[in-house]
Structure 1
Amino acid sequence: MKKKVVVFSQIDPKILSQLESKYQVAQINPKQGDINEQLLREIADADGMIGAGRRLNQDNLKTAKKLKIISSVSVGYDNYDVEYLKQQGIWLTNTPHVLTETTADLAFTLLMSAARKVTHLDSWTKHGHWTRTAGVAQFGQDVYGKTLGIIGLGHIGAAIARRGFYGFNMNIQYHNRKPCIERAEPLKAKYCDLDTLLSTSDFIVIAVDLNEQSKALIGQAQFEKMQKHAVFVNIARGSVVDESALIEALENHKIFAAGLDVYQKEPLQESRLFQLENVVTLPHVGSATAETRMKMANLAYDNLVKALDGDEPQYIVNK
C-alpha cells in the first residue's frame, strides 16, 4: 500500500504531480470546510505532510498516529510547535539557503525604495501632482557610501551586507548574539552592541530568526536611539518589532522611512501604516520569485521523500 501524504497548502503543480505518482495524497482545501477538522481527519493515517503557512500544533495534530515528517516549504518555522513535534518523534524540515540571495535582493529593494521615496513618488506622479520640477518635499537620500547596520549576520544578513559593501561602498556594522568573524572579515564589517548600531547607522536592516530573545527586539526605546534620517527595513518576522512603536516613529518623523515585508498580523488588510507616505509595505514576498519558490518546493519534496524512504533528510529543524 502507498504511504499517505497530506498537502496542507498550495504547492507547485509539478511537485504535486510527483507526490501523486508516488504516494496517496490528500489535499487540505479551505473551500471544503474547517481547516483544522480536515487536518484532524486526514492526518490520522498519514505518514507525511508538506506545505507552508499553516499553524500546526497539538490541537490540529493530535490524531496523528504514524506521522513521521512535516516538510515545510519555508525557512522560518515559527508556525510549528517544535517542542511538541520533538516529543512525538515527528521530524520538522525546512528549506534554508535556496532563498538567501532573492531575499537579500528584496531587502535591498526595500532599502532603496524607502530611501528614495519610490512608492510614494510613483503614486504622486500617477495622480497628476508632477506639474513642475520636483522640490524638497520629493527629495530622498543617498545610499552610496553610507553606514549599513545589519541586525543578524546570518546567511541572509551577510548577503544583504555584501550588496551594500560591494555595490554601494557602504560601511558595514552588525549586531549578533556573538561576533561572526568568517562572514564579517571580507566585508570589513564592524561588530558592535545593539545601541551603538542603532545610533550610528544610516540604514538598519533586521534579519534575525524569531525566537524568545528576538521577540519585540525593536520597540520604542530602540526607535528613540535611531538617527532622524535613518531608514529601517524588516525582512525577518513581524513579531521582532513593536509595530505600534514603529508607526509612532514614522508618524512623528523620528526616523526618515521604513521598508517592510513582514508584520505582526498577516495577511494585513487594515493598518495605520497604509496611511503613511514614508513606508514601503510589501505582502511578505521575500522569497517570491518563480525560480526560488521552485527550488524551495523541490528541496521540501526531497526532505519528505528521504524521510519516508527511511533516510535522514538534509535539513531537520528538531534533530
Structure 2
Amino acid sequence: MGSITDKAILKIGKLTYTEKNWEALGSLGDLKVFPGDKEVSDPKQLFQENLQSGAYDHVVALYRSNDSTSLTGPFDAELIRSLPSSLKYICHNGAGYDNIDITACTSRGIEVSSTPVAVNNATADMTIWLMIGALRSIHVPYAAVREGKWRGPHFMPGTDPEDKVLGMIGMGGIGQAVAHRARAFGMKIQYYNRSRLSPELEKDAKYVGLDELIGSSDVVSLHCSLTAETTGLIGKTELGQMKKGAVLINTARGKLIDEGALIEALKDGTLRAAGLDVFENEPELRSDLVDLPNVVLTPHIGTGTTDTQAKMELLVLDNIKSALESGKLITQVREQLSKPKL
C-alpha cells in the first residue's frame, strides 16, 4: 500500500472484531496507531510527545473509545487545543461521550460521532436483567447458594414486575428498547423526555413530567446522557419523592445519581432495591454500596457482548469512511445538530 502523505487516520487503542475493516481504510489515508505494538510505560506522556513532535500533523480523522481514555486522558478542552489543525473528525466508540468536550470540538470545527442504535438491545437487556434481579431481591440468595448456604439466613421474597409502573427518564433508542421488553412482563410504561415522542414511537407509554414520574413509578430507570444539567439528577430530594419501596435502575452514567444519598435511601428502606451497571467514580466502588444486600451490581458491562462490540466498532469505522468520502458523519452527536434532549 502506497503512502498518502496529505491525509492520515489515527486509531487510539485496539480493535477486537474489525481489524480488516480498519485496514480497508488505508485506501483513504495513511493508517496510524497509538500506542502501537510496543508496551508503553506512560502512554499519556507519549501521546503528548507525539502531538508536539508533529507525528499526527496530517491526521484528519481519529478512532477513540471510552477505554482509550486510559491511554490519552479525557478529550477535555486542553487536549482538544493540542490536537493537530488537520483534524476534522473524532469518531468515538461508545453511546456516551461525556469524556469528550463537545463545545471545545465545535469551536475548533471538529465534528464528533458516537455509536447510538448499535448499543440499544444489549443495554436494554442488561436493564431488564438488573430490574428483575432488584425486584426479586436476588443478591442474597444468589451469593448464598454459591457459598453452600442455600437461600441464606436473610432471604426475602421478591415482587413481580406485572402491573408495576416503570418510569423511564430518557426515552431515546435504549429507553424505547427497554419499554418494548418491559411490556412483555405486563408493566405499565411512563416516561419523561424534554420532548414528547411521536405516537408511533410512544405507543401506549404515558408522557409525564419529571416530578410526577419520580413520585408515581414503582421502578425508575435512567436512560439519559450525562451533562452539566443531568449530573446529580437523582439526589436526596428526588429519592425522598419516590414511592416507598420503589426500585432504581441505572445503566446510563453513574454521576446521574448522588451515590451517597442512594446508599442512605437503600439503608433506611426508602428504596426497596437498586440495580446498577454504572457508578459515580468507576472503576472504584464504595464499600458501603458493595456491602448492601439490596443492590444488584454489574461492572459497566451493558454493551459487553461480542455481537454489540462488533457492531459498535464497525459503526465507528463506517463514520470515518463516510466522513472522508462524503464529508458527513453517519451518527454525529446531537449537540452539534440540534438542542440537546434527555
Match of 1:151 in 2: 169
Structure 1 residues 268 and 126: CA distance shift in structure 2, 3 A:
same
Q: Within 5 A, what are the aligned runs for 1:57-206?
A: 57-61=76-80, 62-130=82-150, 137-165=155-183, 167-182=184-199, 185-186=202-203, 188-206=204-222
Match of 2:318 in 1: 302
Match of 1:35 in 2: 43
Cα distance between partner residues in 2 of 1:199 and 1:213: 20
What's the CA shift string for 1:195-240, capped at 9, x where partnerless?
2222221111111112232221110011111122211101111111
Cα distance between partner residues in 1 of 2:11 and 2:45: 14
Secondary structure, counterpart of 2:271 in structure 1: coil
Identify the range of structure 1 (71-80 vs 15-24) with the bigger mean alpha-carbon deviation.
15-24
Cα distance between partner residues in 1 of 2:290 and 2:20: 40
Cα distance between partner residues in 1 of 2:185 and 2:75: 42
Report the Cα offset of residue 57 of structure 1: 2.3
Secondary structure, counterpart of 2:229 in structure 1: coil
Q: Show structure 1 runs of 5+ residues with no match.
A: none
Report the Cα offset of residue 16 of structure 1: 3.1
Is 2:268 the counterpart of 1:252? Answer: yes
Cα distance between partner residues in 2 of 1:264 and 1:95: 22
- The number of residues matched between the two structures is 314
For 2:173, give the aligned amino acid. H
Report the Cα offset of residue 63 of structure 1: 4.1
Is the contact made by 1:4 and 1:26 (CA closer than 8 Å) also made in structure 2?
no
TM-score relative to the length of structure 2: 0.85
Secondary structure, counterpart of 2:18 in structure 1: helix
What's the CA shift string for 1:254-283, capped at 9, x where partnerless?
110000011111212443211111111111
What's the CA shift string for 1:33-70, capped at 9, x where partnerless?
33332323445322221021121123334141311211
Secondary structure, counterpart of 2:9 in structure 1: strand
Cα distance between partner residues in 2 of 1:252 and 1:41: 52
Report the Cα offset of residue 98 of structure 1: 1.5
Alignment RMSD (CA, Å):
2.2
Q: Within 5 A, what are the aligned runs for 1:15-26?
A: 15-20=18-23, 22=26, 23-26=30-33
Structure 1 residues 88 and 58: CA distance shift in structure 2, 3 A:
same
Structure 1 residues 72 and 63: CA distance shift in structure 2, 3 A:
closer
For 1:51, give the aligned amino acid. R
Q: Show structure 2 runs of 5+ residues with no match.
A: 338-342
Cα distance between partner residues in 2 of 1:270 and 1:224: 21
Is the contact made by 2:140 and 2:155 (CA closer than 8 Å) also made in structure 1?
no
Is the contact made by 1:74 and 1:94 (CA closer than 8 Å) also made in structure 2?
yes
Structure 1 residues 126 and 304: CA distance shift in structure 2, 3 A:
same
Report the Cα offset of residue 316 of structure 1: 1.5
Match of 2:340 in 1: none
Match of 2:64 in 1: 51
Is 2:299 the counterpart of 1:286? Answer: no
For 1:190, give the aligned amino acid. K
TM-score relative to the length of structure 1: 0.91
Cα distance between partner residues in 1 of 2:202 and 2:279: 32
Identity of aligned residues (%): 32
